[in-house]
Structure 1
Amino acid sequence: MPCPPLSRGAVALLAAVICGAGVSAQTFVYPAKGQSPDQQKKDEGECHTWAVQQSKYDPANPPPAPAAAKQPTTATGTTPGAGARGAARGAVVGEIVADDAGAGAAVGAAAARGQSRRQNSAQTQQQQQAATQQSQAGMAAYQKARAACLEGRGYTVK
């Protein structure tokens, strides 16, 4: 089933987890050389520690998502001054086109605020997607290191 279209950062993160975008499935470890369950448990614990050291990623304690460097916004989610800049542009256009600077200013302010909200939303979504990709890369590196360790100790890892 294909992933649904994404429009918000939180939805993107949830869909990435649900749809498995880049997230590896659970691994299975088989004692190919007849290792006992106690030996396997010990080896898996040691390989976990080694994989964390090698990958700098611990799936039991993943790093917190970096705080988004948010631009200052108003209560409506726009960048401060966006409406004023839009009003100034709209007033000029309104005066030239229709001899009505006031109407042009109102339209320009509304358009600029809408554009500012869309840009701020897109930036937040991009930051969340970058954090998700970084976490997925860390998990992939950890799983690769863990598998290498276990295979070196005589286990089959799938």
Structure 2
Amino acid sequence: MNAKKTHQLCVALMMLLALDAIAQSKPIPYPAKGQSAQQQQKDDGACYSWAKSNTGIDPATASAAPPPQSGPAVGGGERVQGAARGAAGGAVVGAIAGDAGKGAAVGATAGTMVGGSRARQNRRAQQANTQAQSQGAMDTYYRAYAACMQGRGYTIK
């Protein structure tokens, strides 16, 4: 399996994991010992604070995704690197054909396009990784929250 197919497979796997994680949500506590709505609200607030302090994860900030980056500076220089490689290869081919300058120009254009594609792939992989890390943090927080609520006499679904 070549590196491009491996990369695409990793991105697809991360996207599936992210979609599965989105389907999961906050545990729902049900009063198992006749707790009133007022008591449940009080326990919910206490367990929110307890889980936040014990995990170091604040669900209000962990679930907020950073804004996607865009523009010419994004991509880690893949377009520039692609253009440079394409120009070098194009110059060699162009020299053999009799016009190194024309070959370099064609190679640079093709290399820029390949570099742009690579930058988009890298950006998608980075976004999927960020989303998976955020969901992992939320899962940790929710386990702590659920443990607290169970300890206070709630059934968790």
The TM tier, using the shorter chain, reads: 0.7 to 0.9
Aligned mates of 1:155, 1:61 — CA distance in 2: 26
Structure 2 match to 1:65 = 66
Structure 2 match to 1:122 = 121
Structure 2 vs 1, CA of residues 73 and 81 (structure 1 numbering), >3 Å: closer, same or farther?
Answer: farther
Deviations 1:111-145 (A, max 9, x none): 11111111211222222111111110111111111
Which of structure 1's runs of 4+ aligned residues deviate more than 6 A?
none
Structure 1: unaligned runs, 5 residues or longer:
1-5
TM-score, normalising length: structure 1: 0.72
Structure 1 match to 2:3 = none
Contact persistence 1:71–1:79 (CA under 8 A): no
Aligned mates of 1:147, 1:81 — CA distance in 2: 49
Structure 2 vs 1, CA of residues 90 and 139 (structure 1 numbering), >3 Å: closer, same or farther?
Answer: same
One-letter amino acid of the counterpart of residue 44, structure 2: E
Answer 1 or 2: which has greater helix percent. 2
Structure 2 vs 1, CA of residues 73 and 149 (structure 1 numbering), >3 Å: closer, same or farther?
Answer: closer
Aligned mates of 1:73, 1:48 — CA distance in 2: 37
- 1:72: how far off? 4.1
Structure 2 match to 1:52 = 52
- 1:59: how far off? 1.8
Structure 2 match to 1:105 = 104
Cα RMSD after superposing both structures: 3.3
- 1:85: how far off? 4.2
- 1:79: how far off? 3.5
Aligned length: 142
